[in-house]
Structure formats: C-alpha cells, structure tokens
A and B are shown apart, each in its own frame.
Chain A
Amino acid sequence: MTVLSAASGVLAGFEPRLGARDPAWLAEARVAALQWVGEHGFPTHKDEDWKYTGLAPILAVPFDASTVASGSRVTAEMIDEAAVDLGGPRLVFVNGHFSSEFSRVTGVPAGAVVTTLAAVLAAGPDRLEPFFAHAPGVRHAFAAFNDALAEDGAFIHLPSGTIVDEPIQLVYFSDTGGVPLISSPRSVIIADSHSRATIVETYAGVDSDVYCTNAVTELLLAEDAHIEHYKVQNEPTSAFHVALLSVRQGRGSRFSSRSIMLGARIARHEVRVQLDGVGAEVSLDGVYLPQGDQLHDNTIFVDHAATDCTSHQLYKGVLDGRAHGVFNGHIMVRHGADGTDANQKNKNLLLSDRAEVDTRPRLEIYTDDVKCTHGAAVGQMDEEALLYLQTRAIPLEAARGLLIYAFVHEMVDRIELDPLRAQLERVVATRFGSDATVVAP
C-alpha cells in the first residue's frame, strides 16, 4: 500500500508499520497518519512554523525506511564517546531499534517501568493509544510519519511517588553505512503524581553517514511530578534531525528541558508544552552552535491553559560560517489562564558576516491578569571588549574564545549533570579556542 506518492516523490513508497497483532486503533492511526501526509504534504515556507527552515535538502535524499541498516560498526566506545555514561539506567537504540548489547537497566526502583516501545507494542499497546492520537491541528508531516512508522523507542512509567535518583539515559545512535535510512524513534514517558526523575536523550551517529532521525518524545506529568530533561543533539553534519518533544503537565508539576544543539546539517527541535494543571511550571533552555552550512531551528510552543502557571525560555545561539539559526517561540495564554507568568528570551551571537538568524518571539494573550515578557537580540562580537582584552596581552583568538564562552556560560551553568556540563565545555573550548573550564566567575 502506497499512500505517499501524491505528497512527495522522494519519500514515496513508505508503508505504515502494521504488526500482525496490532489492535485496530493502532493500524487505523498508522494508515490515517500516512493518509494525512498524502493529503497535506510536507511543510513549505508558507507554513508559519516552517517559514525559515527549507526542507529541500532533506526531501532530495532518497530515504528508505524499508531496509534495515546493520549497525555493525557500532562499538561500546562509540556509544560512550557520543554519550558519557551517567551510571544509571541506559537504553541504547541503534538505527532506531533497541540494542540490548549496549543497554543496561539497573537502578530502577520497584514498580517503575523502564523498557522499550517495541516491548509495549508486543505485550499490549492499548496504554499507548492516547499518545498516537495527536490533535490534527498540531500535526505536521514529520510527526505523522513518526506515527506511521515508529516501532521502537523508550517507554518509561513512573508510578506515584517514584523517585529515580540516577539519570535515565536514552541514546539514539545511527550507523547506516551506505543506506540513507530514516529512523523514527518514539519515546513515551509517563510520570505519575509526585514522581521524580531526570531523563537525558542523546542523538549521535557515525561521521559522514547520510540519514534522517525523525524522533518524537512524549511526556505526561501528573500532579506534582517533577522531570528534568536534557537533550544533546550531536548528529554528524551529513545527517538530518527533526524532533518533537511534546509535554503535557498536570497541577503543580515541574518540567525543565535543556537542549544542546550541536550537530546535523539541518536540525529542528520542536518543543510543545501544554500547561493543563493549576500552578504547573516549565523551564526551557537551549543553546545552539551551528557552523559551516548547518541550520538549527528551535520551535517552541507553550500553551498556558490553566491558572497560575509559570514558563521560562532562554535560548542562546552562536553562529559561525554560513550557518542559519531559527528561534520561533510562541507563548499562548488562553482565556481564563489568570496568574500566568511567562517569559521568553533569545540571544544570538554572529561570528561571521554570512551567518544568519531569524528570531521570532511571539506572545498571544487572551486574558488580563498575566505577567509576560519576551525579547530577542542578535549581535556581533563586541569589538571594544576584544580590544580591551588585547590591551591586557590576551591574543586576539583567545580573546574571541573568552567572549564566546562568556556569552554561552550561563547556559553551561544551568546544566546540573557534571559530565554533560563538561562535555559542553569541551565542545565550546574546542570550537572557539577558549580555556573554558575556568572562566566563570
């Protein structure tokens, strides 16, 4: 069955993944998702949320979802290098499929479930039904593709009161060799009331492999749940990365997500947070460091649908070469969401005349009793500060590195996991030549 040919000659020929034992709702959802793509096609510049992110380079690749790449070159060292072992539970997916060889499920408290989507699909997928039923209004072709094709990913369920001390690490590694693979990991994290955990997602792959990661991660936070989420995107610049992080928060819940965007030729990290319960808090941070021909797109939608919720966003980009950055942040405060406290800030440092950034912070407010701020800044290296440092005997290149580090350090400081913070510090030090580890006051 081929439903896609009308949408795109390139991604044509994809078929929904129908398991023999899948319940009817899942088969229907998968077929409907592909039909949706067939009818609506891929986003273009005319779509508000894709205005600045051209998909032509992705659509030009003859991606293949039917062939299974072997992943035979992957070693434990490659995984460790991509994602520093944080010591806790660690699920590793190679080309979108769970690898028991590289994974470890220890340190999970009794009652908590840390397993794979494939295992849940095999055992009884009905609990997944709400997650595969996106509201049509928020759907786009990539998310629909994930609906149709997702077979594996992480599945985490934290029952009420569960506290997982060690960070739960999810590693998505690609080793596709000559196969231009599109992988569709789908992870679902359900945090019941008063549960608490830290989740770290890392996306990486073998250098110069051409592939596309089309990931969806969904979180559901019940009353007073508290989840700290990190995402490190370090795919090779031969690859593409399109991801959706979709979060729903109940009363009094707290969620934070810190995104470190380093790799991929085109990377789009979309975050959608729905604040459904009174007094929920969300904090979203991101740092993106595109260089060369890279495009990094951060698209954020925070939906204040309940009273007394708080949302903070801080995204900082350093852009070099011909890199292109996009910040597309949208805050919606619904009618009746009184006591909302929302702010968003985006700051960019352009290191080259050819680098470019499109920043669009947006507030849409339908109630009066709110405190909302937003702002965006795009600047170049402060020449006066450079000269000041030079007159203090600091060579020009070191002075530049120091100023770049000074710009991103507040993002680095927000990372509470030491190995992750050290990783980002190393990246900054290597890319910009700063002696990063000792700069901060």
Chain B
Amino acid sequence: MLKIEELHASIEDKEILRGVNLQLKPGEVHAIMGPNGSGKSTLASVLIGREGYLVSGSVTYEGQDLLTLSPEERAAAGVFLAFQHPVEIPGVGNMYFMRTALNSLRRQRGEEELDPVDFLALAQEKMKLVEMDQTFMNRSVNEGFSGGEKKRNEILQMAILEPKLAILDETDSGLDIDALRVVASGVNALRSEGRSMLVITHHQRLLDYIVPDQVHVMTAGRIVRSGGKDLAVELEAHGYTGTQEADAGRLSTAGISR
C-alpha cells in the first residue's frame, strides 16, 4: 500500500524529516505519535504534495512514485488528508464543494459523475456517520464551524471520497470528549480491509477510540520506535523524552517487523 524509504524533507534549509522509513499494508491503521515539532505534520504535508519542501527519498504508493504526482492526482489515486486546520472557504457551499470533489475524483478515474439528486442521497447517508445534519451542507465550507464541526466535516469528506489511504492529522485536537467520540466512531466505521490509515496524534487519548495496529514514535524527524498499541499507553505514562533517551541511536524498523 504505502512504503516510505529514507524520506528527507527540508524547508528553508531546515531539515525537518531526517530519514523516515515506514510501511503500511492494506487495511492497517498506524499511529504516529511524537512531541510538537517532531515532523509529524510535515510528513503528512509531504505525502499530500504541499509545495515548498525540498524532498529526497522515496514514497511508493500502490506501486507508483507518489512524490511525482500533483495533490489532485494523489487525491484521485485515493490519498486523503483530514487537515489539522480545515480551511474556511466563504462563498462555496459545503454540499457543492463535496459534490465537485467527488465528481472531480470520478472524472479523473474515468467514472461517471453523480448528478445533484444522487449526490444528495449519498451525502445524507454518509452524514449519519458523523451525526451531521443538512444545515451543515447549506453553509459555506467550514465557515463559522466550531472546532468539532470542522473535524466532523473532514471525516464526512473522507466518507464520501472513500480513500484507500487516509491520513488523519491531529484529528483529535480541539475536540471535547463527546465530539471525539463522534469523530472516532465515524473513522472506525470507515475502517476496512482495503483502506489504510495513518493517524497522527499528540495524545494517546484518540487511540483509546481508534485502536491502531501499530504505533510509531517520531522525534526530530525520524521514527525512533515502533510497537503495538500498548506503546501508546507506555508513552502516556513516561512521556516522549523517556522514549527518546531509551531509543537513542536505535535504527527504526518501523512497520517492517509485522
């Protein structure tokens, strides 16, 4: 599904990713944890094709070189990012936005587009997953949405676009416990054999709800430790600093041991 090898990324001469290795099989959910500034979000940015980074190393996604594709080609190939900070787009209706997105994706895949009526039926079905009602769809994209509403809106897009690789960047940030439950149950409903997920989070809390197959610890631009879901609990108890010291000098074998 996804194979990241020796991935380096720098911005304005500052190296942020310093040799990331990671492998994700179909249907697997991996969590990436780490302190602020460790490069977690940069990894997400590089994977979806944000400009401005000097990148080396390789990312192979379903047998193709992901790094050569534009962001929209990556999306059409099935890569999705749930943004940490979803963007407000005044003047563009949420419903129209999602239909345009789905139809753009279908067009690039040579599939037939959905007309507004069929799309509405699809959207209404998916909205139940994240407990959103029609009023959200009539508003401008994310405009005036609360933090929780924005995150639910991200998961709704994921449900509609049905990616093969979903990257969730700090999807739990800014959520109260009820909103977290809704978002997590939406994500869990979307877990399937063919869909892999990379869950980037700062806190172990999210992983109580979205239970990962593997947990990776990222510090200073490298994955320094990998393990099962219990690793998250250990991190919560001892903090990243302890992990960093314990693993100093150890090479990452992330995802390969499985």
Interface residues of A (CB under 8 A from B): 382, 384-385, 387-396, 398-399, 402-403, 405-407, 409-410, 435, 438-441
Whether the Cβ atoms of A407 and B70 lie closer than 8 Å is no
B87 CB–A CB distance under 8 Å: yes
Which parts of B66-81 form the interface with A (CB within 8 Å)? 70-72, 74-76, 80-81
Q: Which of A393, A405, A435 contacts B76 (CB 8 A)?
A: A393
Most buried by B among A392, A393, A407, A409: A393
Q: B86 contacts which chain A residues (CB < 8 A)?
A: 388
Q: A409 contacts which chain B residues (CB < 8 A)?
A: 91
8 A–B pairs (Cβ distance < 8 Å), ordered by A: A385-B88, A385-B89, A391-B75, A391-B80, A394-B101, A396-B72, A438-B116, A439-B93
Q: Which of B70, B97, B100 contacts A396 (CB 8 A)?
A: B70
On chain B, which size bracket covers the interface? 35 or more
Shortest beta-carbon distance, B197 to chain A, in Å? 16
Whether the Cβ atoms of B101 and A392 lie closer than 8 Å is yes
Shortest beta-carbon distance, B72 to chain A, in Å? 5
Whether the Cβ atoms of A392 and B75 lie closer than 8 Å is yes
Q: Which of A387, A390, A406 contacts B91 (CB 8 A)?
A: A406
Whether the Cβ atoms of A441 and B140 lie closer than 8 Å is yes
- On whether A398 and B104 interact (CB within 8 A), knowing A387-B71, A392-B97, A406-B92, the answer reads yes
Q: Which of A382, A387, A393 contacts B161 (CB 8 A)?
A: A393
A73 to B116, CA, bound (A): 44
Q: B188 contacts which chain A residues (CB < 8 A)?
A: none
B90 CB–A CB distance under 8 Å: yes
Q: B53 contacts which chain A residues (CB < 8 A)?
A: none
Q: What 4 additional pairs, Cβ within 8 angstroms, besides A392-B100, A393-B72, A399-B72?
A: A391-B80, A393-B108, A402-B100, A438-B116
Nearest B residue to A399 via CB reads: B72
Whether the Cβ atoms of B96 and A388 lie closer than 8 Å is no
The 4 closest A-B pairs by CB, nearest first: A406-B91, A441-B93, A392-B101, A393-B105
Whether the Cβ atoms of B93 and A440 lie closer than 8 Å is yes
B124 CB–A CB distance under 8 Å: no
- On whether A395 and B89 interact (CB within 8 A), knowing A439-B96, A441-B95, the answer reads no
A286 to B157, CA, bound (A): 35
Q: Which of B83, B92, B105 contacts A441 (CB 8 A)?
A: B92
- On whether A391 and B81 interact (CB within 8 A), knowing A406-B90, A406-B92, the answer reads yes
- Mark B219-252 against chain A: 1 for CB-CB distance below 8 A, else 0: 0000000000000000000000000000000000
A384 to B141, CA, bound (A): 13
A189 to B50, CA, bound (A): 56
- On whether A388 and B89 interact (CB within 8 A), knowing A393-B72, A396-B70, the answer reads yes
Most buried by B among A382, A391, A438: A391
Whether the Cβ atoms of B93 and A395 lie closer than 8 Å is no
Shortest beta-carbon distance, B224 to chain A, in Å? 28
A64 to B14, CA, bound (A): 65
- On whether A410 and B91 interact (CB within 8 A), knowing A394-B72, A396-B72, A438-B96, the answer reads yes
Whether the Cβ atoms of A439 and B92 lie closer than 8 Å is yes
Q: B51 contacts which chain A residues (CB < 8 A)?
A: 387
Q: B157 contacts which chain A residues (CB < 8 A)?
A: 392
Whether the Cβ atoms of A390 and B70 lie closer than 8 Å is yes
Q: Which of A387, A392, A407 contacts B104 (CB 8 A)?
A: A392
Shortest beta-carbon distance, B90 to chain A, in Å? 6
Which parts of B29-77 form the interface with A (CB within 8 Å)? 48-51, 70-72, 74-76
B25 CB–A CB distance under 8 Å: no
Nearest A residue to B138 via CB reads: A441
- On whether A392 and B94 interact (CB within 8 A), knowing A402-B100, A441-B140, the answer reads no
Q: B102 contacts which chain A residues (CB < 8 A)?
A: 393
Whether the Cβ atoms of B72 and A390 lie closer than 8 Å is yes
Whether the Cβ atoms of B91 and A405 lie closer than 8 Å is yes
Whether the Cβ atoms of A441 and B96 lie closer than 8 Å is yes
Shortest beta-carbon distance, B187 to chain A, in Å? 17
Whether the Cβ atoms of A407 and B91 lie closer than 8 Å is yes
Q: A387 contacts which chain B residues (CB < 8 A)?
A: 50-51, 71, 87
Whether the Cβ atoms of B89 and A391 lie closer than 8 Å is no
- Mark B173-188 against chain A: 1 for CB-CB distance below 8 A, else 0: 0000000000000000
Whether the Cβ atoms of A388 and B83 lie closer than 8 Å is yes
- Mark B87-125 against chain A: 1 for CB-CB distance below 8 A, else 0: 111111111111011101100100000001000000000
Q: A399 contacts which chain B residues (CB < 8 A)?
A: 72
B139 CB–A CB distance under 8 Å: yes
Q: B101 contacts which chain A residues (CB < 8 A)?
A: 389, 392-394
